[in-house]
Structure 1
Amino acid sequence: MKAIVFDKIGSPEEVLELREVPVPEIKDNEVLVRMVSSSINPGDFLFIQNLYPEPKRPLFPGQIAGNHGAGIIEKAGKTVKLKPGTFVAFSYYNTWAEYAAVPDEWLIPLPIDYPVELAAQLVNPITAWDLIDQAGLRAGQWLAVTAGNSAVSLMVMQFAKHKGINVISLIRRAQSTIDLVSMGANAVIELSSLQEGIKERIMQITNNQGINAVIDNVGGPVTGELIRSMAFGGRVIINGGMSPDKFELHNFDILMSGAEIKSHVYRYFFNPPTAADAAVLKEIISISSQPGFQTPLGGMHSLADVETAVTESIQYPQKGKRIFSISNI
């Protein structure tokens, strides 16, 4: 089978290559998934650079890249309850390939008509849902989201709209192909053309209420400004670090605002789904499969197009999520 592999730690643009490798053998508790689609995510690049904590470490030689994807069960081990032909998504390993062997506990069954571009990145709607839950907002309160054009942020906005939460989307530059307001943004702050300070603009938007939570995917000085623009008792959820810059705060910026700063870790980063997750996963899948739910794409790529897919994902993430389209359902 064809797979995108790497034999050493390094820049994804330099170490990845398409290679013929054997179709994996499965154990009794595993399934062989014929991959339909796989997403290209910032976390995949962290894995390739060996920046994830244990046990998320590449194994050499011939580590297959990719951590999230979806496909059809071709073969099931002796102890597996899911049947061949089931459409499943998972966050595990080895997804940038034509086939993957996956322990059944990591599988999330999907309706056969669930959009393949969403199935490939089910990590993102799950993350978006959990970020809003972690922010702990009520309907009518204000949420600020950085990297507003990113896949996760776009889904955060749509779920927030579903829950009646007001959203301020912060972007570097507007993208003509993305309508943030239609996705749930009550206001958009385009940083490249902002004439006043961020706090001043936020107070204008919120009628001096301030924001009740921040979901931050970027970091840098903007994060500090957002924290200083919060209503008392707000929460800051750190979900990424696209900016190489740091933000600075004084203790009083936290103490006098009662702010809480927390990190977000994907719920299935270390552990697989449990039976208790079934209801919330069903709700996430149901809402995200509605016709009005938008998932702007940067492009669909074959595995052979790995160089373009990876380079574009790294250099132009604002243009939308890129997906490897591997086979048909």
Structure 2
Amino acid sequence: MRLTLLGRTESMANFRVALKALSVAELVGNGRGCYRRLASISLRSFASYVCPSSRAIIYEEHGPPDKVTRLVELPVCDLKENEVCVKMLAAPINPSDINRIEGVYPVRPPLPAVGGYEGVGEVKALGSGAKYLSIGDWVIPSPPSFGTWQTCIVKEENAWCKVPKDVPAEYAATVSVNPSTALRMLEDFVSLKAGDVVVQNGATSMVGQCVIQLSYLRGIQTINIIRDRPDLDDVKQRLKEMGAGKVFSESELEVKNVKSLLGDLSEPILGFNCVGGNAASLVLKFLRQGGTMVTYGGMSKKPITVSTSSFIFKDLHLRGYWMQNWVNSHTSNEFKTMTDYLLRLVRDGLLKYKTETVPFQDFDAALQKALGKQGHFSKQVLMFDK
């Protein structure tokens, strides 16, 4: 492909050099109309076929994330007809990202791989066949996909879902996994109505915070179990400000009959477990006859132990949830409808969760926090240069 620039015909490879070499006098001397044509070429024709070099966090083997990851430079690449180039704005470090690098997650990309699984970016360049997106649109991977820890990503247009730009980037970057998991677990396992009660452990996690707020909007009460910690009273207060009904530490539930702590709340019909071990047993103790516990994580790396009587005499149901399965069995339009709904709640101030934004160049420090090596911190969200 060749482009004409102020009467000079240039190859695509030389276009950038020729464009930079133009003097102000050449631009002004050719008049405003010529400037508009030049702007059109530089913003559409040139940008539509080339994606700039990118910086990426990669790993070439599985192992400790702080040992096997490194920053590399990826070269400039041409766009194919149906591809778009997206400049990343933000991407989180999720526990599943860490597990993939460690090699213990059930689904992993082939090596070498770029880290990260969700995020938000801005469309910077379009292939000639792109039809639905425009330069400047904010997009998230749809479905979530590998490789978001890089400054620029090239994928086919249909791999992206447009999202509104009137929410903070860190929320758009994190909507695909944790808030979506909370919504799906509330809607897909038990038919809940106003006045019902759900119980969960890991209530301070992003999913846990979303469960509290989404339940509150529906008139559903929550019983929330958190680990013992020095700032226990402050954490309880923050969760109650989000709409939590009751909040207990694990040690406060070391009583013979946990249901005596319910007060005027009815027995929960649904429970969520992301910890395992004793914390999962506490969720089971609260459930009413025929109740369901959904497991979506195992942070303690300890198994779930269930008494025989819980199955025979209480008819409890144990289920599992994995967001990837939902994504695989639903359309991109259904995914977009869900994320649009959640981001509307964010925009309206009805859904909030705590994150810690970190410049991309400080990835190593963010990773140490995500690994829990510097104490308890909020979810780390990498923010890319604008």
Which residue is equivalent to 2:241? 182
Q: Secondary structure of 1:301's partner?
A: strand
Q: Secondary structure of 1:144's partner?
A: strand
Residues 270 and 241 (structure 1), Cα distance of their counterparts in 2 relative to 1, 3 Å cut: same
Query: Higher relative contact order at CA 8 Å, sep ≥6: structure 1 or structure 2?
Result: 1
Q: 2:261 aligns with which of 191, 204, 211?
A: 204
Q: 2:195 aligns with which of 126, 140, 165?
A: 140
Letter of the 1:160 partner, please give it: S
Letter of the 1:302 partner, please give it: P
Which residue is equivalent to 2:381? 323
1:236–1:260 Cα contact (<8 Å) kept: yes
Q: TM-score, normalised by structure 1?
A: 0.89
- Superposed CA RMSD: 2.3
Equivalences for 1:111-150 in 2 at 5 Å?
111-123=164-176, 124-136=178-190, 137-150=192-205
Report whether the alignment pairs 1:35 with 2:88. Answer: yes
Letter of the 1:2 partner, please give it: R
Q: Distance in 2 between matches of 1:51 and 1:82?
A: 36
Range 305-314 or range 32-41, more displaced: 305-314
Q: Distance in 1 between matches of 2:253 and 2:385?
A: 48
Q: Distance in 1 between matches of 2:213 and 2:100?
A: 28
Q: 2:313 aligns with which of 256, 268, 286?
A: 256
Residues 269 and 311 (structure 1), Cα distance of their counterparts in 2 relative to 1, 3 Å cut: farther
Q: 1:243 aligns with which of 300, 310, 313?
A: 300
Letter of the 1:129 partner, please give it: L
Report whether the alignment pairs 1:231 with 2:231. Answer: no
Shift of 1:247: 2.6
Shift of 1:207: 4.3
Residues 162 and 45 (structure 1), Cα distance of their counterparts in 2 relative to 1, 3 Å cut: same
Shift of 1:181: 0.4
Letter of the 1:157 partner, please give it: I
- Which structure shows the bigger proportion of residues in helix conformation? 2
Q: Distance in 2 between matches of 1:237 and 1:269?
A: 18
1:135–1:214 Cα contact (<8 Å) kept: no
Q: 1:72 aligns with which of 119, 122, 126?
A: 122
Q: Distance in 2 between matches of 1:17 and 1:236?
A: 39
Which residue is equivalent to 2:351? 293
Report whether the alignment pairs 1:305 with 2:356. Answer: no
Residues 96-131 of structure 1, C-alpha deviation per residue, up to 9 Å, x if partnerless?
110112333332211112211111111222121112
Shift of 1:224: 2.0
Q: Distance in 1 between matches of 2:329 and 2:153?
A: 18
1:37–1:327 Cα contact (<8 Å) kept: no
Q: TM-score, normalised by structure 2?
A: 0.77
Which residue is equivalent to 1:153? 208
Q: Secondary structure of 1:306's partner?
A: helix
Q: Distance in 2 between matches of 1:127 and 1:318?
A: 22
Range 268-277 or range 302-311, more displaced: 268-277
Identity %: 24
Q: 2:133 aligns with which of 82, 92, 95?
A: 82
Report whether the alignment pairs 1:279 with 2:337. Answer: yes
How many pairs are equivalent?
A: 322
